[in-house]
Amino acid sequence: AQSVTQLGSHVSVSEGALVLLRCNYSSSVPPYLFWYVQYPNQGLQLLLKYTSAATLVKGINGFEAEFKKSETSFHLTKPSAHMSDAAEYFCAVRRGTGGGADGLTFGKGTHLIIQP
Amino acid sequence: EPEVTQTPSHQVTQMGQEVILRCVPISNHLYFYWYRQILGQKVEFLVSFYNNEISEKSEIFDDQFSVERPDGSNFTLKIRSTKLEDSAMYFCASTAEGSKGYTFGSGTRLTVV
């Protein structure tokens, strides 16, 4: 079964510093990978996705992620953190083997804290 | 931009009561899902639904749970006899096709007392 592991339940960075949130996956088939953001008391918003095209994926709000098959990783980065980036970030992998109805398996999430 | 709409946003129910959580997926989407998130924990897959039947369900989705698409627009999750541990945020999601991404609703916070 497909799974993701997010390293670090909490990450704290200074405003303006690089943001790096780590995600490693396990998949028996070529994975589809996603990053979602959740602001307090809100739903899940898609930041970006990897679906077997370009390995460097650009998303909203200046975030990007690079798919590295050799490292089974899909880390999320942003060059310069803003206070508004403070939120919970979830990495997810598509379940199943590619059927259209496959849902997602989520990691445990990383709480991003931005220090002024 | 099209949205997935969930109602109600918050529901409080007595233990043992039945609850129905409602979702209106994006109109041209074909695949529908329910997830739950217990407070402070990760989002967990419950069930996927396509062509008016369940495609996959997790071990969480036991006989107390059921899903239905009663008409062309609504997608519901029913919990027959709620337990305290059913207290969570429940998210509905839909997609036209998985590679295009999944759109989530804002969730229904269910509190069982």
- Per-residue DSSP letters for chain B? ----EEE-SEEEE-TT--EEEEEE--TT--EEEEEEE-TTS-EEEEEEEETTEEEEE-TT--TTEEEE--SSS-EEEEESS--GGG-EEEEEEEESSGGG--EE---EEEEE-
pLDDT at residue number B87? 98
Q: Which is more confident, B107 or A99?
A: B107
Choose the closest CB to B42 out of A95, A100, A106.
A106
Q: What is the mean pLDDT of chain B?
A: 93
Instruction: Assess whether pLDDT exceeds 80 at residue B1.
Output: no
For residue B7, give the nearest of B113, B105, B111, B112 by alpha carbon. B105
Choose the closest CB to A103 out of B33, B97, B103.
B33
Mean pLDDT along residues B104-110: 95
Q: What is the mean pLDDT of chain A?
A: 93
Share of chain B above pLDDT 70, in %: 98
Contacts of A88 in chain B (CB under 8 A): none
Count CB-CB contacts under 10 A for residue B91.
26
Instruction: Assess whether pLDDT exceeds 70 at residue B84.
Output: yes
| pLDDT band at residue B99 under the 50/70/90 scheme | low
A-facing residues of B in 88-107 (CB < 8 A) are 91, 93, 97-99, 101-107
In this complex, do B101 and A43 lie within 8 Å of one another by their Cβ atoms? no
Q: Which residues of chain A have pLDDT under 50?
A: none
Distance CA A95, CA A99 (A): 9
Distances (CA, A) of B73 to B3, B26, B29: 13, 8, 10
What is the β-pairing status of strands B10-13 and B108-112?
Answer: parallel
pLDDT at residue number B72? 78
In this complex, do B49 and A101 lie within 8 Å of one another by their Cβ atoms? yes
Contacts of A34 in chain B (CB under 8 A): 101-102
Distances (CA, A) of A113 to A69, A80, A82, A108, B19: 29, 13, 10, 16, 36
pLDDT at residue number B88? 97
pLDDT at residue number A51? 87
Q: Is A101 exposed, middle or buried, given 0-12, 13-18 or 19+ CB atoms closer than 10 A?
A: buried
pLDDT at residue number A43? 86
Q: Give the range among B27-31, B46-50, B96-100 with minimum mean pLDDT.
A: B96-100
pLDDT at residue number A29? 84
Instruction: Assess whether pLDDT exceeds 80 at residue B9.
Output: yes
The pair of three-digit structure tokens given for residue A75, joined into one six-digit string: 């880390």
Please report, as a single letter, which amino acid is at residue B60: I
